[in-house]
Amino acid sequence: MQEAPTVFQRRIVIGAGVCVAAFLLVGLRLIDVTMLSGGHKGGVIGMAAAARADLTDRNGELLARDLPVKDLYARPKEFWDKAAAARQLAAATGAGEDRLLRGFTTAKSPYVLVARQITPDAEARVMKLGLPGLEFENTAKRYYPDGRTTAQLVGVTDPDNNGVSGLELGLEQQLHRAAARGEGAVATSIDARVQFILAHEVAKARKTFSAKAAGGIVMDVKTGEIIALTSQPDFDPNQRRLSEGDSARNMMSQDIYELGSIFKIFAFALAMEDHTVGLDETLPIGKSLRIGKYSIGEAHHMPAAMAARDILAQSSNIGTAQIALRSGGARQRQFLTNMGLLSPVKSELPETARPLYPRTQWGTIETATIGFGHGVGVSPLSFVTAMSTVVNGGRRITPTFIRQDAGTDNRGAQVIKPETSETMRNLLRYVVTNGTGRSADAIGYDVGGKTGTAEMPGPRGGYIKNALMTSFAAAFPAHDPRYIVMVLMAQPKATKETFGFATAGYTAAPQTGRIIARIAPLLGVPNVPPPARVADGRAL
């Protein structure tokens, strides 16, 4: 006969059962926390943000990097006094006290987010509070050492470390892949030295002329690399918020403009390609050109007749309109399409713009006005890309923000004949030596370029009186271009030094010349005169 368990044995069995039950409860709770609730919205600490590789400039200088930070969560049930906890945590982290108290008292989930990406100083302040129920999650915050200098270009990430703008978004997959492979960095085409100079000079010009906005681009015409790009007003990417007067919009890639006279480059390139006008051919100018009910005039006084080369150099609207009409609307449209100006430009930068042009009616007046840069709107990045084709030997180029190997030549299909490209290079040099671009000349760097002054369209049609968009695009060295620099200014104001003028020759052109003088030595462009040429254009 089996003996009945003693009191001591029964106590052992009961104690073991209680322990098993406790372990089961703990296990179930762990399963709920780690597997079932899953994520911050469910009330538990989620997985850390996915790692991103560094972004660097072409020389290895840092543009963006993940810095280790922590997110802070709280378990409100652990607090003796929720109101006091909310007040103390708000003071330590900068979080909103009302939000915290609301979360502590009404949250259905066991965890409440207190603050994201807190600094080590804030973490130390939190630890000094001695509050129970606090947990830190290791994560990362993207840091931008150049701040405003590269703001719209590099872009920013969201609190979960996902790219939301600029190259952070455009190179999202490359950055994650590089981090996963342990490669450390993705090298961009940007030269931080050139970027600083461009941003500095554009900011100075914007302030000098009280312009509403200003921007600039430096592009390699043979590789398509964007060496620098700035858009101002800008913002501080490390703050993740805009202050008064800031803008996150990239005017050089995602805005379109009627660029005015700078667009005459393409009317002349087409005329040289099709031999519809000779450079020494004289065209009548007069006071106006009548086309139906429309009348085309000049921005300033012109002689009664001009040679074609001087029509470009002095930026005559009437003369350029006549040259454009010789090409005709159908040929003009085909040419601009081939140049890539009638479709959005494609690159790693996600901010882009769809050009504006006549979709149906492309008649005589449209052909004339498009010839001198009105009636068609393109982004500055699109313009620079097309101009690169004009001066680089006539071959198509695609802009890129990824560093290319030394000696790379990314020029594609032939769009215009090499001899047309050479003629245009000489013409653009003539604009600087004998025309409206004189103030852009950087001695020893053989600059060739074109001024552009356009009226800005109003919100209800028509144009805003005395509101100008001025620009200058320069290729250097003109006899064998390697780079293009473009400066754009929105609504600059005249100064005493410009004798009351706010046109491109007084605003954008001199600024472009100063930029070239500063960046050319850094880019290895020799300060030498162009090769001497005989009358027929052959080099000596």
> Angle 324-327-330 (CA atoms, 0-180°, nearest 5)?
110
C-alpha 246/C-alpha 233 separation (Å) is 6
Answer for the pair 115, 122: CB distance below 8 angstroms, yes or no.
yes
SS3 state of residue 160: coil
C-alpha 77/C-alpha 43 separation (Å) is 13
C-alpha 34/C-alpha 49 separation (Å) is 17
User: H or E element: which one contains 508?
Assistant: helix 508-519
Sign of CA dihedral 516, 470, 153, 404: negative
DSSP structure string for 36-72 = IS-STTTTS--PPPPP--EEE-TTS-EEEEEEEEEEE
Answer for the pair 484, 473: CB distance below 8 angstroms, yes or no.
yes
User: How many CB atoms are closer than 10 A to CB 385?
Assistant: 27
Task: Name the percent of the chain in helix, strand, coil, to the closest 5.
Answer: 35, 20, 45
> Angle 250-252-256 (CA atoms, 0-180°, nearest 5)?
100
User: How many CB atoms are closer than 10 A to CB 242?
Assistant: 13
Answer for the pair 438, 505: CB distance below 8 angstroms, yes or no.
yes
C-alpha 337/C-alpha 164 separation (Å) is 31
Could you confirm whether 261 is annotated as catalytic?
Answer: yes
User: How many CB atoms are closer than 10 A to CB 219?
Assistant: 28
From the candidates 261, 327, 388, 471, give the one annotated as an active-site residue.
261
Answer for the pair 497, 209: CB distance below 8 angstroms, yes or no.
no
Sign of CA dihedral 260, 201, 400, 52: negative
C-alpha 138/C-alpha 70 separation (Å) is 5
C-alpha 515/C-alpha 447 separation (Å) is 12
C-alpha 263/C-alpha 355 separation (Å) is 14
- Please provide the size of the chain in residues: 540
Token representation of residue 455:
């009226």
Strands 213-220 vs 483-490: parallel, antiparallel or unpaired = antiparallel
Q: 299-320 in b/e burial notation, b at 16+ Cβ within 10 A?
A: beebeeebbbbbbbbbbbbbbb
Catalytic positions are 261
